[in-house]
Amino acid sequence: MQNKSVYKIPNGKLLKISLTYSKKNNTINQIRIMGDFFAYPEEAIEVLENKLKKTMLTKDKLIERINFVIKENNFEFIGLDAEGLAQGILMCLK
């Protein structure tokens, strides 16, 4: 399944997600995270896109995984956060 979402993060920026997922396993196959936010370093988003593959499409699992990757790599996001990202991803399922 493939779907897109557009989500304005509260107090943040406009997030656009393009998601390919397995409906059977309820997991991410491929994800593109786009928008007018900031990430330091910029490569953080590509790392996160790779690390999100096979993650369960539930709010808790997504937030946990995103926060783990941020912490593990010392990434800094501005105008974007784990909750907003999880919300944008889950909106692709509707």
The C-alpha atoms of residue 85 and residue 3 are separated, in whole angstroms, by: 15
**Minimum CB–partner distance for residue 32 and other proteins (Å):** 7
Query: By C-beta, is 1 or 6 nearer to other proteins?
Result: 6
Q: Which of 42, 71, 74, 94 binds other proteins (CB under 8 A)?
A: 42
Query: By C-beta, is 12 or 84 nearer to other proteins?
Result: 12
Q: Which of 2, 22, 30, 38 binds other proteins (CB under 8 A)?
A: 38
